[in-house]
Amino acid sequence: MIPELQIALIQSELHWEKVDANLAMFEEKIWTIKDPVDLIVLPEMFTTGFSMEPQQLAEVHKTRTFKWMQQQAAQTKAVIMGSIIAKEGPNYYNRLYAVHPDGSFQHYDKKHLFGLAGEDKDYSAGSQRVIVDVKGWKIFPLVCYDLRFSVWARSQKNADDLYEYDALIYVANWPEPRVNAWDTLLAARAIENTAYCVGVNRIGQDGVGANYVGHSAVYDYKGKPMAFSDKEEILMTTITKEDLLSFRERFPFQADADGFELS
């Protein structure tokens, strides 16, 4: 039997473009977690805020913040997940790392770049979906604007399993004026994929004046809210594989889903 998954969502203000200050802040917050936890999720660009200055702020792949994440994962015995500004070769990426307690990792580069903020001019888009295994759970991590594009998140059935993953996780800097879309689309992604859906946002104001009100949340496979926060806090939640499998067995909607290929 696959165990329950204990998740900590850290919803916080961010120090604008100050990597050291953010790493120190999140380290303090992580060490306030007293309950057992399997997965700790940080917001999008958690070391800088949603900055369009990658030339000044990017970190070479697997260096400073990545090593910090390895240290935190080893000490907490939990997978640490969040995105930063990364540089690989000549390109800059909004790169999500999932770092395991043994030091191994996977990374996902944000596919859908937010053109309204010029992200598509400063960053390169990713092209690969990544499934992360956490204690037998199949987790599909995505980043912020990806939430608006349902096809990229759509669970694909195959010969071995109708369901590609058990839970979606979105890390974000999603601003207040469009937070209703955030709430609605998180629930929709859960319903259409018969999977848990987790969203981790930030709060406060960034260096270009955008306001954030959080709304970090967890939705179950029916789109029912399990946890929600609009303040600075660590939101703890537990998701249960047995309940998910039971629902999927009773309502195998995915068996009737369209087959497709992503390009």
pLDDT tens, 74-101? 999 999 999 999 999 999 999 999 999 9
**Residue 197 is a catalytic residue:** no
Q: Is 138 designated active site?
A: no
H helix and E strand count, the chain: 7, 15
Q: Cα 207 to the chain's mean position, in Å?
A: 22
pLDDT for 260 equals: 83
Q: What is the pLDDT of residue 20?
A: 98
Alpha carbon 81 to chain centroid, angstroms: 7
Question: Which amino acid appears at position 261 of this protein?
Answer: E
DSSP letter at 188? H
Nearest one of 61, 42, 46 to 169, comparing CA atoms: 42
Model-wide pTM > 0.75: yes
In the set 44, 59, 119, 164, the catalytic residue is: 44
Coil, helix or strand at residue 100: coil
Return contacts of 107-114, CB within 8 angstroms, 24+ apart: 108/141, 108/142, 108/143, 110/83, 110/142, 110/143, 110/144, 110/145, 110/146, 111/142, 111/143, 111/146, 111/149, 111/152, 112/145, 112/146, 112/148, 112/149, 112/152, 113/145, 114/144, 114/145
Rounded Cα gap, residues 211 and 165, in angstroms: 32
Name the active-site residue from 110, 119, 164, 197. 110
Q: Which residues does 188 contact at the CB level (< 8 Å), separation at least 6?
A: 150, 223
Q: What is the pLDDT of residue 1?
A: 67
| pLDDT under 50: residue ranges of the chain | none
17, 111, 119, 144: which is the annotated catalytic residue? 144
Gap between the Cα atoms of 113 and 116, Å rounded: 9
110 is catalytic: yes
CB-based burial, 136-163: b 16+ in 10 Å, e otherwise: ebbbbbbbbbbbeeeeebbbbeeeeebb
Q: Which two tokens mark 154?
A: 């759509």
Helix or strand (DSSP H, E) at 198:
strand 196-200
Reported as type and span, the H/E element at residue 164 is none
* pLDDT value for 14: 98
User: What are the angstrom distances between the C-alpha of 41 and each of 61, 149, 216?
Assistant: 20, 21, 11
